[in-house]
Amino acid sequence: MQRRAAAIYFVFFLVIAAGAWAYIGVAEDTQRPQFSVSGPTFENGTTHAIGGTEYTVENIESAGGSGSAALAATLLWTNESALLTETIDNGSIIPYEGADHEVIIGNVSAESPVTLQQYYNVSAMLQNDDAVENDLATQNGTDYVVYRSNQSLRPLAEYLPERNVAELGVGDSLEYQGNETTVREVTSDGITVGRFGPAQLEADLSEGGNVTLANDEQYFAHFPSSDSVALVPSEQYPGYAETVAERDYFNERLAGLWGIVIVAGLAALLLMAMAYMPVRG
């Protein structure tokens, strides 16, 4: 009798577990809330034009975890008129008007705070001049050039050619590394020069994450599959967020069904195991 009752309850719990498991399969296929957002959809390496700018997506991959929320990608585009800046340190040697000049920054509050003073490589000049020694002589803090013929001394300042000196301030032009730049800022540490030109830009994409495109319009990313990503205009985000909430609730219900499958299956097995345990006596 005991084993017959156990068999009945075993079938009962087994039917419950099987029914819950079957309903999970049907719900996954027919009841899971679907996203209704739309926008340019990219696969790895594909390009789309948005607002006159070409965008390319690379590196669609899982960032850990499971589902579309764990996917990530990189969005690339070129800004044809980006502000490109670079800092030239105080004391740097840069080419200017066909010769090397040293950047000397004094009073940064002055109207023209930056001095470009022609730079001479004294060691190289001495080595290339057979009339003088290769090393300077220093007396009372003054450097002198030593002539080989009679060991006479001449102050280094008199030996060197007259230096070219120029002054620059914010807004002045400066040719730097082959490009015409403008002085944008001066500090005691250096000067910042800038120019407008093409620059490669990139942004990280994640499920539901915002991205600002070249036209300053806001989009967000949605991964409809594991190998594609869509850029969706921000005005569609309320509907997207509603679907996300519906999916979260749906997943909670599925988790409850999986709990029924597990508990009912364990109960069925436990009943059968206890029913067929040896009885003492």
Query: Which pLDDT belongs to residue 58?
Result: 94
Report which residue type is found at 158. E
Contacts of 273 (CB under 8 A, 6+ apart): none
Residue at 256 is within a domain: yes
Query: Which pLDDT belongs to residue 268?
Result: 63
On whether both 227 and 184 belong to a single domain, the answer is no
Q: Select the more confidently predicted residue: 189 or 270.
A: 189
The tens digit of pLDDT for each residue in 113-139 reads: 899 999 999 999 999 999 999 999 999
Q: What angle do CA 77, 183, 179 make, to 5 degrees?
A: 55
On whether both 72 and 205 belong to a single domain, the answer is yes
On whether both 152 and 215 belong to a single domain, the answer is no
Q: What angle do CA 62, 64, 68 make, to 5 degrees?
A: 55
On whether both 217 and 236 belong to a single domain, the answer is yes
Mean pLDDT for the chain? Answer: 83
State the average pLDDT over residues 151-157: 92
On whether both 191 and 223 belong to a single domain, the answer is no
On whether both 56 and 91 belong to a single domain, the answer is no
Burial of 88 (0-12, 13-18, 19+ CB in 10 A): buried
Q: Where residue 75 falls among pLDDT bands split at 50, 70, 90?
A: very high
On whether both 138 and 155 belong to a single domain, the answer is yes
On whether both 79 and 204 belong to a single domain, the answer is yes
User: Based on the structure, what is the number of domains in the chain?
Assistant: 2
State the average pLDDT over residues 228-235: 94
Residue at 9 is within a domain: yes
Query: Which pLDDT belongs to residue 2?
Result: 58
On whether both 91 and 71 belong to a single domain, the answer is no
Helices 237-275/2-30 angle, 10° precision? 160
Report the 10 Å Cβ neighbour count for 35. Answer: 17
On whether both 158 and 118 belong to a single domain, the answer is yes
Q: Where residue 1 falls among pLDDT bands split at 50, 70, 90?
A: very low
Query: Which pLDDT belongs to residue 254?
Result: 64
Q: Select the more confidently predicted residue: 194 or 32.
A: 194
Residue at 251 is within a domain: yes
Residue at 281 is within a domain: no
Query: Which pLDDT belongs to residue 87?
Result: 94
Q: Where residue 80 falls among pLDDT bands split at 50, 70, 90?
A: confident
Are 56 and 46 in contact, with CB atoms under 8 Å apart? Answer: yes
Q: Select the more confidently predicted residue: 193 or 254.
A: 193
Of 159, 174, 199, the one marking the end of a domain is 199
On whether both 111 and 169 belong to a single domain, the answer is yes
Residue at 142 is within a domain: yes
Partnered with residue 78 across adjacent β-strands are 200
Percent of the chain predicted with pLDDT > 70: 74
Query: Which pLDDT belongs to residue 113?
Result: 84
Report which residue type is found at 106. G
Residue 66 has pLDDT above 90, yes or no: no
Residue at 157 is within a domain: yes
Which domain range does residue 35 map to?
A: 2-83+200-275
Query: Which pLDDT belongs to residue 246?
Result: 74
Contacts of the segment 199-202: beta carbons below 8 A, 24+ positions apart: 199/78, 199/79, 199/82, 199/84, 200/76, 200/77, 200/78, 201/76, 201/77, 201/78, 201/79, 201/82, 202/74, 202/75, 202/76, 202/77
Query: Which pLDDT belongs to residue 22?
Result: 60
Q: Select the more confidently predicted residue: 62 or 112.
A: 62
Tell me the two tokens of residue 61: 């991959």
On whether both 175 and 132 belong to a single domain, the answer is yes
Query: Which pLDDT belongs to residue 19?
Result: 58
Query: Which pLDDT belongs to residue 241?
Result: 86
Q: Select the more confidently predicted residue: 196 or 2.
A: 196
Tell me the two tokens of residue 197: 């030109």
* φ/ψ of residue 150, rounded to 5: -135, 10
